[in-house]
Amino acid sequence: MAMSEHIPFNVRAAGSFHLDTVYRIYLLHDVFYGITASRQSDMDDDWMARTDCRDPRDLMTQEEKNFSFHARDVMASSIEAPAPVSGNDVSYGIWKVWLHDRTAMVFRFETLQDIKLALHQIALPLGSRLAVNVAWDNENQVFIAR
């Protein structure tokens, strides 16, 4: 396991922030690290296992699309119900982040496990700056809008 304080989860960038790039999100000392592979096809289970053993701070310079932000730099954030996606894309929910410097990031959760991990892990460091706008629909086994 990485030096991260929490179990990492995956998101796919949506919107204008590095569109369609998959990131592994680590949380260390209230800093979020988005780490990606130089080729998206390399982000398999082996890559994730190797990356999870490393300190995310050491991985920041390995790919120009990697990013980090401190929880205190977040102006607002929300977890939203999945938006309709095209083709074979799958979405279990959306994570939106707005930083004080006006950077806006939108990410899509492509697995149920990833959104569940995110919901449990990002609430504490973001506190009142996280709006959780989803509820679990037990009958259909999906997150829906509140």
What's the confidence (pLDDT) of residue 1?
45
Print pLDDT tens along the chain (146 aa).
Answer: 445 567 999 999 987 666 779 999 999 999 999 999 888 788 899 999 999 999 999 999 999 999 999 999 999 999 999 876 655 677 899 999 999 999 999 999 999 999 999 999 999 999 999 999 999 999 988 899 98
Given CA atoms 111, 96, 60, 63 in this order, what sign does their dihedral have? Answer: positive
Complete domains list, the chain, with CATH: 9-145 (2.30.29.30)
What's the confidence (pLDDT) of residue 52?
93
| pTM for this entry | 0.90
